[in-house]
Amino acid sequence: MSKVSFAFTLAETLIVVACVCALGLFAVPHVQTLGRTTATRAFLDRFKATY
Return the domain boundaries, the chain. Answer: 1-51
Q: What percent of the chain has pLDDT over 70?
A: 92
- Whole-structure pTM value: 0.47
Q: Tell me the DSSP string of 11-47.
A: HHHHHHHHHHHHHHHHHHHHHHHHHHHHHHHHHHHHH
pLDDT of residue 18: 93
Greatest extent of the chain over all pairs of C-alpha atoms, in Å: 74
- Which range has the top average pLDDT, 19-23, 26-30, 47-51? 19-23
Q: What is the tens place of the pLDDT at every residue in 1-18?
A: 567 677 778 889 999 999
